[in-house]
C-alpha cells in the first residue's frame, strides 16, 4: 500500500470529562473512497474536525498528507461541514470562486472554474442566482462544488447526502466517483448504508467514540455469519461434517438451512455438494447487507457499554 | 496577507452592494444640504405675512411701529452693531393693516376688543393675526400695559418687534428727559472693547491668535465626532458579518481555509474601508455645501475680513506641523480599535439579538469621552486627561484633545504602545473566540467561560 493520505494514531478527544472520541487509530490509503459510518453522536464530526485541525485532539497524533496539521496543507484539502450554509446575498458562482480563492486559486481561474463546475453539474442556469433563491438541493450542490473547486487531493465530506432527494443523491454519488477516477481521495461520513455499500473502498465504523470496524466492505460482510438455504431431494446431513459449517437445520421436507462459520465462503458448501454428489434443486446464499453488519456492530458495541 | 485581502475585498464589495450603504451615502448629504436650505426656505415661504392692526389711543407709537415694519426690523433686529440692515426681502413678514371700518383708535377699549375679537379668530380675508391696543396714557413709567391680542402663541416675532420698538422709544424718551443727546447715547452704546488674543506657545511674531488657531482648537472635537459617526456607520456591518458566518456555519469552511486572525483582519480592513468611503462621501458633500454657502454669503455681503481669512487658516492648519497627522493617526487607531471591539462582540454572539444585549454596556463606555470632552482641553495635561489616556478605549479620544497642548513625550509614546497592543490583542482574542465558538451554539458565553477560552493554552 502506498503512503496513506491520512493516518490517525490513538487519537482521543475529551470535552470536559466527556469522551467524544477514544483511542481512534486508522489510515486512509491514497485514491480511495473512505466511508465514515456510525450512529448519531458516535464522534464522526468531531473526528473530521480534528482531522482538519479545527479541533485539537486531547491526546494522539494525526498525519495528513504527510504533515502533522491540516492547517499546513489547507490548500490541498477540501471540506464540506455537516451543518451547511452559504452567504445568502452572494451569487452561486461567486461563492464557489471566493472559497476557491481562499484556498489559493488565482481570481480569474477561480471564476472560470466556478462557472465550469456549475455548468458540468447542471446548475449553469443558476450561476448568477443569489444563493438564498436556490432550493436546498441546489445550494447543497453549490457547497459541495465550493469544497472541491480548488481541486484538492483529499476531500472530506461530512454527511454530504443528508437532505438530498434520491435523484440528487445519485448526482452526488457520480461526483464522488468522478473524484476517485481522477485519483483523488474522498472521505465521507454517513449513516445511510446504501451509499457506503455502493461507493466505499474502505469503511470505518464508529460507535460511542470508539472504532468498532475498519476494512473493506467485503471484510465487513464477513463479520456476519452467512447462511445458506438449500432444497434437495435426498438427505444433506453429510454436509454437517464440512469444516466451514457450524450447524445444519432441517426446516421441512426437502428444505435445509446451513449456518456457516464466521468468515466462511458459501461457495465451499456448493462445491462440497458437487463433490459428494448431493442432488440439489436450489441453492441460495443470503448475502448480509452492510446494514445488517452495521446493526450487528453498533448494537454489539452499545450492548457492551450498557451492562 | 494575500488571503486577508481576499476576505477584505469580499466584505467591502458585499457591504458596498447593499441598498443600505447607498441610502446612507445619499441621505446624509441630502439632510445636510436640506438643513442648509430648508430653514431659509421655510422662513421665506412657509411663514405667511402676518397682518395686524394697531389701535393707538396715544397716537404717538403707531408711526414708530409702522416704520419698524417697513424697515424690515423683524428680520435683522438682533444686530445691534455692524452694517445697516440688508434690504427688505421680496416678501414682507409683517403687514400693518388699518383698523376695520367703523373702528377708531380713540374708541372705548372694551368696544374695540369686542369688535376685533371675531377677526382675530376668523380665517377669512379680513382676518387679523394680531391686534395691538395701546392705552391713551401709555409711556415710560406707565403702569398701563399694551394689550397684545393674538391666537398664535408660538410665533412671537411680531410681539418681539413691538416690544423692541416700544422699548427703544421708551429709552430715547427717558434719555431726552434726563437731558442726554440721543445721538451721543447711540454712539456710546456702539463702543467696543478691543482684545488681542496672544498665545505664548507660538513662535515670536506669530503669537496673535487668529481664526486658524480657533479652528485648531475645534479640530479635536470635530475629529471626535467624526470618529463617533464613523464607528456607528459600520458597527452593524461588523456585527452582521461575523454573526452571519457563525449562524450559517460557514465558520468551519472558512477556518479550514484561513486562520481566524486572517479572517478577522480581512473583515476589519474590508468593513473599515466601507466606513471610510462613506465618511469620505459625507465629508466631501459637507465641504461642497459649505463652499457653496460661503460663496452665496460672500455674494450677498461685502467681502468680510473673516471670510478671506478662512482659506489661509485652512492652509495654516494643514501646514500646522504634526497636528493633522496626529489627529488622523488617532482617528484611525480609534476606528480600528472599536471595529475590533464590535468584531469581538459579534464573535461572542449567534444572533443580532444577543449582540444587542452586549451593545448597551459598550454604548455607555463610548458615551464617556463625549461627556468628558469639554473638560480635557481645559486641563489637557492634568490628572484626569493623563489617567484616561492610559485606558485604550479612551486613548484616541483623549489624545486628540491633548495633542495641541504638547503632552509629555513618554505619555504619547506609552499610551500609543498600549493602544496598539490592545488592538492586536483584541484581533487575536476575537479570532480565537470565533474559532472556539464552533463548539458553541446557543447563548453567548458567560464572562468566566470567556476568560477561560481566551487564556486557554494554544495547544488545547
Q: Tell me the mean pLDDT in the region A103-114.
A: 91
**Cβ atoms within 10 A of the Cβ of A178, count?**
12
pLDDT, average across residues A256-276: 81
What is the pLDDT confidence band of residue A190, given thresholds at 50, 70 and 90?
A: confident
For the segment B410-429, the average pLDDT, to the nearest whole number, is 89
Contacts for B261 with CB less than 8 Å, ≥ 6 apart: B427, B428, B431
- Residue B89: pLDDT over 60: no
Q: pLDDT at residue A293 above 90?
A: no
Chain B residues within 8 A of A89 when measuring between CB atoms: 14, 17-18
**C-alpha cell recorded at residue A280:** 440439489
pLDDT at residue A154 greater than cutoff 90: yes
By CB neighbour count within 10 A (0-12 exposed, 13-18 middle, 19+ buried), where does A27 fall? middle
Q: Which residues numbered 10-29 in A keep a CB inside 8 Å of some CB on B?
A: 15
- What is the DSSP track for B266-329? HHHHHHHHHHHHHHHHHHHHHHHHHHHHHHHHHHHS---HHHHHHHHHHHHHHHSTTHHHHHHH
- What average pLDDT does chain A have? 85
Nearest to B438 among A54, A71, A79 (CB): A54
CB–CB contact A99 B257 (8 Å): yes
Chain A hits for B10, CB-CB cut-off 8 Å, are 98
pLDDT bin (cut points 50, 70, 90) of residue A76 is very high
Residue range B286-316, pLDDT digits in tens: 777 777 767 766 666 544 444 445 555 555 5
Classify B130 as helix, strand or coil: strand
Residue listed under C-alpha cell 479570532: B431
In angstroms, the CA A4 to CA A66 distance is 8
Q: Which comes out higher in pLDDT, residue B264 or B73?
A: B264
Residues of B in contact with A71 (CB under 8 A): 259
Is residue A212's pLDDT more than 80? Answer: yes
CA B234, CA B16: separation in Å to the nearest integer? 11
Is A2:A29 a contact under the CB 8 Å cutoff? Answer: yes
Q: What is the pLDDT of residue B444?
A: 55
The three grid cell numbers given for residue B67, joined into one nine-digit string? 416704520
| CB-CB neighbors (< 8 A) of A74 in chain B | 256-258
Tell if the CB–CB gap between B257 and A15 is shorter than 8 Å: no
Alpha carbon A79 to chain centroid, angstroms:
15
Can you tell me the distance from the alpha carbon of B228 to that of B220, in angstroms, rounded to the nearest whole number?
12
Q: Which of B14, B253, B438 sits opposite A89 (nearest CB)?
A: B14
Nearest chain B Cα distance for residue A84, angstroms: 6
Is the model's pLDDT at B332 over the cut of 80? Answer: yes
Kindly identify which residue of chain A lies nearest to residue B242, measuring between CA atoms. Answer: A87
Q: Could you tell me if A84 lies within 8 Å of chain B, comparing CB atoms?
A: yes
Note the pLDDT of residue B76.
41
Would an 8 Å CB–CB cutoff place A99 in contact with chain B?
A: yes
Contacts of B248 in chain A (CB under 8 A): 85-88
Interval B436-455: pLDDT, tens: 766 654 455 566 666 666 66
Q: What is the pLDDT of residue B459?
A: 39
Facing A85 at nearest CB: one of B18, B250, B255:
B250
Whether this model's pTM surpasses 0.95: no
Q: Taking CA A9 as the corner, what is the angle to CA A5 and CA A14, rounded to the nearest 5 degrees?
A: 120
Binary contact (A84, B249; C-beta < 8 A): yes
Return the residue in B17, B19, B256, B453 with the most chain A beta carbons within 10 A, the one to mutate for interface testing: B256
Contact B248 A86 (CB under 8 A): yes
Chain A interface mutation, best of B253, B261, B441, highest count of A Cβ atoms under 10 Å: B253
Q: What is the pLDDT of residue B458?
A: 44
Among A65-79, A175-189, B328-342, B432-446, the range scoring the smallest mean pLDDT is: B432-446
Identify all chain B residues contacting A103, using CB atoms and an 8 Å cutoff: 257
Least confident of A90-94, A133-137, B75-79: B75-79
Residues of A in contact with B243 (CB under 8 A): none
Say whether pLDDT at B202 is over 80: no
pLDDT of res. A95: 92
pLDDT (0 to 100) of residue B1: 54
A245-252 and A255-260 as β-strands: parallel, antiparallel, unpaired? antiparallel
Q: How far apart are CA B409 and CA B55, in angstroms?
A: 73
A55 in B contact zone (CB under 8 Å): yes
Q: How far is B230 from chain A (nearest CA, A)?
A: 24
Residue A108 forms contact with B (CB below 8 Å): no
ipTM attached to this prediction = 0.76
Size of interface A-B (CB pairs under 8 A): 61
* A chain contacts of residue B439, beta-carbon cutoff 8 Å: 15, 55
Would you call B357 helix, strand, or coil by DSSP?
Answer: helix
Q: Where in chain B are the domains?
A: 2-31+215-459, 51-189
d(CA B47, CA B84) in angstroms, rounded, equals 24
Query: Is A34's Cβ below 8 Å from some Cβ in B?
Result: no
Contact list, A21 vs chain B (CB under 8 Å):
none
Answer whether A87 sits within 8 Å of B6, measured CB to CB: no
Which pLDDT tens digit goes with each residue over B231-260? Answer: 888 888 888 888 888 877 788 888 888 888
Amino acid at each position: 500500500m502506498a503512503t496513506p493520505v491520512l493516518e490517525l494514531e490513538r487519537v482521543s478527544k475529551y470535552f470536559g470529562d466527556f469522551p467524544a472520541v477514544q483511542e481512534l487509530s486508522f489510515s486512509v490509503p491514497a485514491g480511495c473512497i473512505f466511508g465514515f459510518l456510525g450512529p448519531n453522536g458516535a464522534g464522526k464530526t468531531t473526528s473530521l474536525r480534528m482531522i482538519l485541525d479545527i479541533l485539537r485532539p486531547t491526546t494522539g497524533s494525526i498525519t495528513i498528507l504527510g504533515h502533522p496539521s491540516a492547517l499546513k496543507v489547507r490548500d490541498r484539502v477540501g471540506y464540506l461541514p455537516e451543518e451547511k450554509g452559504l452567504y445568502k446575498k452572494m451569487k452561486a458562482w461567486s461563492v464557489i470562486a471566493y472559497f476557491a480563492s481562499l484556498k489559493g486559486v488565482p481570481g480569474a481561474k477561480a471564476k472560470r472554474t466556478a462557472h465550469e463546475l456549475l455548468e458540468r453539474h447542471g446548475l449553469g442556469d443558476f450561476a448568477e442566482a443569489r444563493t438564498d433563491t436556490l432550493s436546498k438541493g441546489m445550494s447543497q450542490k453549490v457547497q459541495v462544488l465550493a469544497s472541491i473547486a480548488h481541486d484538492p487531493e483529499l476531500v472530506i465530506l461530512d454527511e454530504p447526502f443528508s437532505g438530498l432527494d434520491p435523484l440528487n443523491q445519485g448526482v452526488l454519488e457520480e461526483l464522488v466517483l468522478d473524484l476517485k477516477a481522477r485519483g483523488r481521495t474522498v472521505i465521507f461520513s454517513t449513516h445511510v448504508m446504501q451509499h457506503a455499500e455502493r461507493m466505499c473502498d474502505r469503511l470505518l465504523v464508529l460507535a460511542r467514540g470508539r472504532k468498532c470496524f475498519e476494512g473493506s466492505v467485503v471484510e465487513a460482510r464477513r463479520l456476519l455469519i452467512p447462511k445458506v438455504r438449500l432444497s434437495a431431494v435426498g438427505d444433506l446431513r453429510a454436509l454437517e461434517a464440512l469444516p466451514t459449517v457450524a450447524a445444519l437445520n432441517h426446516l421441512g421436507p426437502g428444505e435445509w438451512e446451513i449456518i456457516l462459520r464466521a468468515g466462511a465462503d458459501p461457495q465451499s458448501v456448493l462445491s462440497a455438494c458437487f463433490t459428494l454428489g448431493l442432488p440439489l434443486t436450489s441453492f441460495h446464499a443470503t448475502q448480509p447487507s452492510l446494514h445488517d453488519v452495521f446493526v450487528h456492530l453498533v448494537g454489539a458495541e452499545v450492548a457492551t457499554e450498557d451492562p | 496577507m494575500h488571503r486577508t485581502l481576499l476576505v477584505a475585498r469580499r466584505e467591502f464589495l458585499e457591504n458596498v452592494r447593499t441598498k443600505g450603504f447607498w441610502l446612507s451615502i445619499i441621505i446624509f448629504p441630502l439632510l445636510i444640504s436640506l438643513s442648509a436650505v430648508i430653514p431659509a426656505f421655510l422662513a421665506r415661504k412657509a411663514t405667511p405675512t402676518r397682518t395686524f392692526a394697531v389701535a393707538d389711543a396715544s397716537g404717538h407709537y403707531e408711526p414708530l411701529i409702522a416704520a419698524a415694519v417697513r424697515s424690515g426690523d423683524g428680520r435683522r433686529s438682533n444686530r445691534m452693531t455692524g452694517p445697516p440692515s440688508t434690504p427688505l426681502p421680496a416678501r414682507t413678514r409683517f403687514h400693518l393693516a388699518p383698523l376695520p371700518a367703523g373702528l377708531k383708535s380713540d374708541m372705548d377699549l372694551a368696544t374695540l376688543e369686542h369688535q376685533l375679537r371675531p377677526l382675530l379668530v376668523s380665517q377669512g380675508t379680513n382676518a387679523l393675526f394680531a391686534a395691538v391696543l395701546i392705552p391713551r396714557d401709555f409711556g415710560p413709567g406707565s403702569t398701563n400695559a399694551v394689550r397684545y391680542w393674538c391666537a398664535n402663541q408660538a410665533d412671537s416675532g411680531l410681539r418681539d418687534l413691538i416690544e423692541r420698538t416700544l422699548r427703544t422709544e421708551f429709552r430715547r424718551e427717558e434719555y431726552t428727559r434726563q437731558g442726554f443727546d440721543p445721538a451721543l447715547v447711540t454712539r456710546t452704546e456702539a463702543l467696543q472693547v478691543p482684545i488681542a488674543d496672544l498665545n505664548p506657545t507660538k513662535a515670536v511674531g506669530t503669537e496673535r491668535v487668529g481664526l486658524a488657531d480657533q479652528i485648531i482648537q475645534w479640530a479635536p472635537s470635530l475629529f471626535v465626532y467624526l470618529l463617533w459617526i464613523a464607528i456607528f456607520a459600520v458597527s452593524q456591518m461588523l456585527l452582521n458579518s461575523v454573526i452571519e458566518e457563525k449562524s450559517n456555519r460557514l465558520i468551519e469552511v472558512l477556518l479550514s481555509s484561513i486562520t481566524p486572525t486572517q479572517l478577522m483582519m480581512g473583515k476589519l480592513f474590508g468593513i473599515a474601508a466601507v466606513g471610510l468611503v462613506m465618511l469620505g462621501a459625507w465629508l466631501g458633500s459637507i465641504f461642497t455645501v459649505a463652499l457653496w454657502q460661503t460663496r452665496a454669503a460672500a455674494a450677498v455681503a461685502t467681502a468680510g475680513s473673516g471670510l478671506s481669512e478662512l482659506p489661509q487658516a485652512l492652509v495654516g492648519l494643514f501646514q500646522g506641523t504634526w497636528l493633522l497627522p496626529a489627529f488622523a493617526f488617532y482617528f484611525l487607531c480609534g476606528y480600528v480599535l472599536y471595529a475590533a471591539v464590535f468584531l469581538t462582540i459579534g464573535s461572542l454572539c449567534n444572533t443580532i439579538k444577543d449582540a444587542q444585549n452586549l451593545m448597551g454596556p459598550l454604548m455607555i463606555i463610548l458615551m464617556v469621552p463625549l461627556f468628558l470632552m469639554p473638560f480635557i482641553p481645559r486641563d489637557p495635561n492634568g490628572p484626569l486627561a493623563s489617567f484616561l489616556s492610559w485606558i485604550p478605549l479612551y486613548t484616541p479620544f483623549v489624545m486628540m484633545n491633548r495633542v495641541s497642548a504638547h503632552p509629555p513625550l513618554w505619555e504619547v509614546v506609552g499610551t500609543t504602545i498600549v493602544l496598539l497592543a490592545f488592538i492586536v490583542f483584541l484581533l487575536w482574542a476575537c479570532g480565537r473566540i470565533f474559532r472556539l465558538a464552533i463548539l458553541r451554539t446557543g447563548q453567548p458565553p458567560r464572562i468566566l467561560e470567556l476568560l477561560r477560552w481566551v487564556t486557554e493554552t494554544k495547544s488545547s
